Structure 1
Amino acid sequence: MFVDNGLSDLSSRGALYMWKNNQPDNPILRKLDKVLVNDQWRDSFPEAIAILDPPGDSDHSLALVHTSSHIQTSKKSFKYFSFLSTHPKFKEVIDAAWSEESGTGSALFILAQRLKIVKAACKRLNREGFGNIQQRTKDSLARLESIQADLLRSPSDSLF
């Protein structure tokens, strides 16, 4: 039916299977969600890919379509993540940053300067203690894709 109407499934990453029949003797896994495009759309966006989020408590996944592999990046605002406080040197680093000389001026100016110093210390701590997230993400994606390929060859509850 899709082919008759000139539609095909866009390449995707992420959640591969959204449904299983829960029958150990005859396991069946199915991909329920697809992003359908026609040839004209593919010609307009040749690098497009759909990212399927895990379905959660539904049988369906949210699909986000990226039309280019070159996603524009913008300057990200600083966000403090609570996991930083689990680093063994957290208190020491923050105390040292807060104690640094921050210039002279009004109380508000001095506060702003100290917060900038603490922000820089948090960024360094994040890089040193929790860095290399891109490589860990890449490794995890490779592992997920390997498991999904194994599921295609031989579905099992343990792999699912």
Structure 2
Amino acid sequence: MNVCSGWCFTHNLSCHENGRIIIGWCPNAFNVDIKAVNSQFIHCWVQPKTGAAGFDCTFVYGFNDQQSRSHLWSGLKQIHQGRVGAWLVLGDFNAISLSDDRIGGIVRRSELTPMLDCMNECQLSDIKATGRYYTWSNKQEGDHRVLSRIDRVLANQMWMDKYDSAEAHILPEGDFDHTPMLVCVYPDVSLKKPFRFYNYWCHYDELLVIVRKEWEMHVSGCVMYRVVQKLRNIKIAIRRMRNKGWTDAEIAVNSARSKMVAVQNAMHENPRDISYCNAEKEAQATYKQAQKMLNSMLQQQAKLKWLKCGDENSKVFYQALKARRRHNRIHAIHDMEGNWLTKKIQVE
């Protein structure tokens, strides 16, 4: 187990040369006890620190060929025989359990049987899922296009009873071949984000128009109340502009992502219609270009971390100080006549 930036990580690199599974968790939120590791799954005990009930959890990444996956099914069955209580199994099984789980390729009964038998013997079933149905695409064109449902979130009845509001959200795949999965177990708690003014807003003429308009509005009351109220009105107006996507980069990303998701939604609703293939590729290319624009803008905000932590007696401060010392070096000094006075002086 490795610890990085307050998070804990483990993997199965010792069981496979490519290290096919990586698990990360926040130790302030969960206690995770690794029980078994092999080349196709990592089995562990998860105990939330909120006081909620703990459960067994198995992260799966099955091999591509059917014969090698037999060790996955036998391993899951062995876990089932040696445990009691709630159990969650999730990941990329690289297998299907129904003929409808694939479009664009031949489905044989012998391919469905192993996973079905394992689910029945282990008493596992799919938890409630929203979003995409097919979770993988080979990204080919025309008749070569294949869509499959090979990523799953399974659980036994005890886990579903303990977490009856849990849902698996199958998210848009973007420019990946697999769709990300997000398992939501606890209710969302919406926190109001504090207002922050970004200096790059000053490059837009609309800012001066907004400030002038709100500052010239008539407000009754004492001087201090008028000042505070006008500043509050300016903040509300700026936040309203920001939510609409003030900067060109944000507008481009939001627009490109919406178009890409719309094309992918249409493709999943009509998976046999190959006309959406080229439209998806064009939408992905536009989205990637918009992301580059946004990342270029975000690089200007990188100094915010130094402004926040630089004056503190913190690890961030000393790491930055060491980095500056490595670069601030004077290698030689000479006078007006070109005579060398000293060499290799390091600035402290």
Can you list the C-alpha shifts for 1:41-66, whole angstroms capped at 9, x where unaligned? Answer: 12222232112333455443432212
2:191 pairs with 45, 67, 74, which one?
74
Deviation at 1:95, TM superposition (A): 2.1
Within-5 A mapping of 1:90-101:
91-99=208-216
Calculate the aligned-residue CA RMSD, in Å. 4.2
Distance (Å, rounded) in 1 between the aligned partners of 2:166 and 2:210: 43
Which residue identity does 1:60 align to in structure 2?
A: H
Distance (Å, rounded) in 2 between the aligned partners of 1:32 and 1:20: 12
Residue matched to 1:17: 135
Residue matched to 2:152: 34
Tell me if structure 1 keeps the 8 A contact 2:215–2:234: yes
Tell me if structure 1 keeps the 8 A contact 2:129–2:167: yes
Which residue identity does 2:165 align to in structure 1?
A: E
Residue matched to 1:116: 232
1:148 pairs with 265, 268, 278, which one?
268
**Sequence identity, in percent?**
22
Structure 1 outlier segments of 4+, above 6 Å: 141-144
Higher strand share: 2
- With the length of structure 2 as denominator, give the TM-score of the two structures: 0.31
Can you list the C-alpha shifts for 1:48-93, whole angstroms capped at 9, x where unaligned? Answer: 211233345544343221225x5322223235689x99x9965422
Can you list the C-alpha shifts for 1:91-146, whole angstroms capped at 9, x where unaligned? Answer: 422322245579349xxxx6x7664332122244567x67xxxxxxxxxx898656
Work out which structure has the larger RCO, using CA pairs closer than 8 Å and 6 or more positions apart in sequence.
1
User: Residues 13 and 144 from structure 1, CA distance in 2 versus in 1: closer, same or farther, beyond 3 angstroms?
Assistant: farther
Which residue identity does 2:140 align to in structure 1?
A: N
For the residue of structure 2 that corresponds to 1:34, the secondary structure is strand
Distance (Å, rounded) in 2 between the aligned partners of 1:33 and 1:22: 19
Residue matched to 2:172: 54
Deviation at 1:23, TM superposition (A): 5.1
Tell me if structure 2 keeps the 8 A contact 1:29–1:155: no
Distance (Å, rounded) in 2 between the aligned partners of 1:81 and 1:48: 37
Give unpaired runs (5+ residues) of structure 1.
Answer: 131-140
Which residue identity does 2:168 align to in structure 1?
A: A
Q: Mark the structure with the bigger radius of gyration.
A: 2
User: Residues 52 and 123 from structure 1, CA distance in 2 versus in 1: closer, same or farther, beyond 3 angstroms?
Assistant: same
Give unpaired runs (5+ residues) of structure 2.
Answer: 1-117, 246-260, 281-348
